Amino acid sequence: MQWAWQRWLSRHEGLARGLLRLSRISQRITIVLLVVAVLLVPQLAAAMVPAIWMLACLGVMVLLSRTRTISWRAVSVMFSVSVPWALAVAKATELVAASGGMTTSDDGTSIALAAFVEEPGKLVPLAVVALVAPGRARRLAAVDWALLGYAAGAGFTAAEDGARRLAPQGMLASLLGGDKGLDYSLNAWTAGSFRLWESDGLLGRFMAGAGPSPLAVGHHVSTMTVAMAVGLGIVLWRTGRPLGRVVAWVLPAVALVQVVVDHAAYNASVASLTLVSWLDSGDPVVYWLGAVWQASGRGNNAIAYSVVLFVLCLLADARRRLRTGALGVTAGEAPRVPSVTAIGGPAFVRAPIEAVVALVVLSYSDLVVIARGYADRRMTRPQRMIEGRLTAAQVMEARRDAMAATTPGSSPRHATSSLSSHSWSRPS
């Protein structure tokens, strides 16, 4: 999609220059208006905190995603689109609730309705990507799905917590510490999460016999979890094995059910004044929802599930790149993945070992190649910056070629022609 846009701009150079100039002017005007708005309404500064932290956490995820093939621009665009989309989903939730004679402020299990609308709704931007650019979506690395999912959910977190900071929630929120919004850090998984009570707090001591405190991870974590399940499902489907294709459908479905259950159960617990009495309901739907929630640790296992899926995405991508041989190699002098065939044993034993070794070596190799681009003392500092960025772009292109070569139905010409386009020679 981006390539088509660039080709169109190349055919309309005058319009392209005008759009670029308009974009720069609009950015400057936006910055000025934002500064003025913050000065006039200081509370807006507090509302911007979630967006700033989410962008920082998104940067952390990009750094951790050593097999990604999408750019920071693509990830940030997904984040930007998801912020206004969150408002649309919130309105859709109100309409669905109104059609059932409820409101989003109802007490008890009725407030859990939001989870059944929000969680699928957050996936719509990802579905749009797959529909608008199906070819590029098919060539995405598994970790690309993780990043896009994280960005989509981060937009929801920024919009929701920003609105929360602008509109105080009342006495219950004050007692739970919610008026100041969520807590953030550079831990991409725990940032924006909320625990119903802390074990060492007053409420925690009062609730000592009520079981573990329910945990709600941020929208970015839950959306990323489902997106990673989709990415891994695509990898499993391409194995062609019957069991793999069954799991390819089951895994995303289970992930979506789990995040919906965690979200709905947490909302119901908050609406019940931090109690989990709703678990005693005689409604069969509520009973099974509560049973799944209890079995999964009342949301406390969500982070562990997400981390495991993220590691599996990295390993799956590294193994795909390893399978392409020379196509996935960057510079000729870069470290190579050693052969582990001497280990012997069945394929299901060798494959994970190969994936781990490939992930470590290829990640190190990419970093070494990029660092060399920035560190050539024969160039001036501006030249080194340019060379480093060009080298990083070439490394990214090598990853894209590897993903394209392992995507069924990709053009063999595309998969092989890019190999000759890599110029890894050192400047003289």
What integer pLDDT is reported at residue 132 of this predicted model?
86
- Per-residue b/e over 296-326, b at no fewer than 16 CB within 10 Å? bbbbeebbebbeebbebbbbbbbbbbbebee
Q: How crowded is residue 180: how many other Cβ atoms within 10 Å of its Cβ?
A: 13
**Would 71 be classed as within a structural domain?**
yes
Among 276, 304, 332, identify where a domain stops.
304
In this structure, are 250 and 392 located in the same domain?
A: no
**Would 417 be classed as within a structural domain?**
no
Indicate the SS3 state at residue 331: coil
**Would 85 be classed as within a structural domain?**
yes
**Would 42 be classed as within a structural domain?**
yes
Q: How crowded is residue 284: how many other Cβ atoms within 10 Å of its Cβ?
A: 8
The C-alpha angle with vertex 157 and arms to 151 and 160, in degrees rounded to 5, equals: 140
Residue 216 β-bridge partners: 194
**In the numeric block, which tokens belong to residue 142?**
């598994």
In this structure, are 293 and 326 located in the same domain?
A: no
Q: Is the dihedral of CA 168, 173, 179, 182 positive or negative?
A: negative
Q: Furthest-apart CA pair in the chain: how many Å?
A: 77
Q: Cα–Cα distance between 66 and 358 in angstroms, integer? A: 11
**Would 411 be classed as within a structural domain?**
no
Measured in degrees and rounded to the nearest 5, phi and psi for residue 216 equal -115, 115
User: Where are any strands of DSSP class E within 202-292?
Assistant: 215-216
In this structure, are 341 and 386 located in the same domain?
A: yes
In this structure, are 255 and 374 located in the same domain?
A: no
- Give the mean pLDDT per block of 10 residues along the chain (428 residues): 54 69 73 74 80 93 94 90 90 80 54 79 92 88 96 93 74 48 86 73 52 84 96 91 92 94 82 58 74 85 95 94 78 62 66 87 87 83 86 88 81 42 42
**Would 418 be classed as within a structural domain?**
no
Query: Can you give the pTM of this predicted structure?
Result: 0.82
In this structure, are 285 and 345 located in the same domain?
A: no
**Would 315 be classed as within a structural domain?**
no
- Per DSSP, 255 falls in state H
* Domain of residue 84, residue span: 19-166+186-198+206-304
Number of domains in the chain: 2
First to last CA, the chain: 36
What integer pLDDT is reported at residue 70 of this predicted model?
93
Q: Cα–Cα distance between 161 and 191 in angstroms, integer? A: 12
User: Where are any strands of DSSP class E within 299-385?
Assistant: none
In this structure, are 68 and 191 located in the same domain?
A: yes
Measured in degrees and rounded to the nearest 5, phi and psi for residue 195 equal -100, 135
Q: Cα–Cα distance between 408 and 234 in angstroms, integer? A: 11
**Would 243 be classed as within a structural domain?**
yes
In this structure, are 260 and 366 located in the same domain?
A: no
Q: Cα–Cα distance between 111 and 270 in angstroms, integer? A: 9
In this structure, are 134 and 244 located in the same domain?
A: yes
In this structure, are 262 and 147 located in the same domain?
A: yes
In this structure, are 242 and 327 located in the same domain?
A: no
Residue 194 β-bridge partners: 216
In this structure, are 284 and 215 located in the same domain?
A: yes
- Per DSSP, 107 falls in state -
In this structure, are 249 and 373 located in the same domain?
A: no
DSSP string, 90-101: HHHHHHHHHHTT
Q: Cα–Cα distance between 423 and 387 in angstroms, integer? A: 12
